[in-house]
Structure 1
Amino acid sequence: MNIPNRITISRILLIPIFIILLSVPFAWGKWNIGENTLPISHFVAALIFIIASATDWVDGYYARKYNLVTNLGKFLDPLADKLLVSAALILLVEMGFAPAWVVIIIISREFAVTGLRLVAAGEGIVLAAGNMGKIKTATQMIAIAALLLHNFPFSFIGFPFATIMLYVALFFTVLSGYDYFAKNWHVMRDSK
């Protein structure tokens, strides 16, 4: 197994740790940040999320640069991304930090695009991610990290950065989904 695939698998293995940190009430204490408190377990979970998100870029860059792109990597990388983002968003709903309807739209877009990619793969077509998808991913990662950090450091000045970023991410999620289907609708139209 090559290094990019090992990095991707490590990202998948971080997800259960991330979930436990947000789901189990640890007695590690809390930090006061502005008008909010940030449990240390949420801070550690946010760090894990940020590290896992960064490895998404690292493994892809490394695989392309050293010509280590494999079918396993093509399968695992988007799976790891969707598992991480979905787990984070669902937990944010449970914690009361994100509205369920926003999360449903974001996750639905991921299912729809994955379905289109599966149809394309069945026709022997590989659909690459476009720039809109990359913007979508970046805004989602920033929004999730900010929400996990309870809007730190913006909570000191009362600026709702995390909430604003969630809606920015929603906007780019919908826009990139539309863009993806508009550019690739021929796959559905022409499939057997």
Structure 2
Amino acid sequence: MPFNLPILLTWLRVALIPVCVAVFFLPDSVLIEHHRNSLGAFIFALAAVTDWLDGYLARRLGQTSAFGAFLDPVADKLIVAAALILLVELARTPGWMAMIIIGREITISALREWMAGMGSRSSVAVAYIGKLKTSAQMLAILLLLYDGPLLSGIMTRELGNLCMYVAVILTLWSMVYYLQMAAREFSGKKIDV
């Protein structure tokens, strides 16, 4: 297993998951709700920044690796799934939204693994629609974790759930896109199931 700065940042993201979740369960005697929300949102934002930074540094420093390519999406999916489950637990977003997003992540991860086993992983490589979906998800989760007023007086719960609707639409759209790409790859090929 290689160890370099990009992989260290990815491991940091994984380590931040239980910290982010634990903050929301601290008693008021330790940290009042507004401060829990602010700290939890900050930790999630830090994790989201490491997601961008580890990929950038891996390419910039020439430190890409098969292990890093495996660990990065796993870390992304773990932190998003943990945050979504937390938001449902805190009654800040509907459970059906979390189920759609988490279900899509599992489906597309399995599809990518299957395609890799068939030698066709590039046909379901990350597309622009997937990046849009991720951006909408991260913004929605960040707003819902913060769950307070913005400087303009807009409440982040309403704005966060609006972004979550957008994320769900993009989630379904990107899933259909990736499934179509996989279907095109295998049209005319014999597939053993």
Q: TM-score, normalised by structure 2?
A: 0.88
Corresponding position: 1:13 with 2:15: yes
Corresponding position: 1:181 with 2:179: yes
Using a 3 Å threshold, how does the CA distance of structure 1 residues 47 and 157 change in structure 2: closer, same or farther? closer
Q: Distance in 1 between matches of 2:154 and 2:14?
A: 35
The alignment of Structure 1 onto Structure 2 pairs a total of residues equal to 185
Task: Give the 5 Å matches for 1:103-182.
Answer: 103-127=98-122, 128-153=125-150, 156-157=153-154, 160-182=158-180
Q: Distance in 2 between matches of 1:26 and 1:73?
A: 39
Deviations 1:137-184 (A, max 9, x none): 000000000001115317824572111111111111111111111122
Runs of 4+ residues deviating >3 angstroms: 186-192
Shift of 1:75: 1.0
Q: Distance in 1 between matches of 2:118 and 2:4?
A: 28
Describe the SS at the equivalent of 2:24.
helix
Pairwise CA RMSD: 1.9
Contact 2:108 2:175 in 1 (8 A): yes
Q: TM-score, normalised by structure 1?
A: 0.88
Corresponding position: 1:51 with 2:24: no
Deviations 1:21-72 (A, max 9, x none): 1233342454xxxxxxx52112111101001011111111111223221111
Q: Distance in 2 between matches of 1:51 and 1:158?
A: 22
User: How high is the sequence identity, in percent, across the aligned residues?
Assistant: 37
Q: Distance in 1 between matches of 2:147 and 2:73?
A: 27
**Structure with the larger RCO, 1 or 2 (CA within 8 Å, 6+ apart):** 1
Q: Distance in 1 between matches of 2:171 and 2:44?
A: 19
Deviations 1:68-106 (A, max 9, x none): 211111111000000000000000000000100111011
Which amino acid in 2 is paired with 1:183?
Answer: M
Using a 3 Å threshold, how does the CA distance of structure 1 residues 68 and 157 change in structure 2: closer, same or farther? closer
Deviations 1:97-137 (A, max 9, x none): 01001110110100110110110121233332000000000
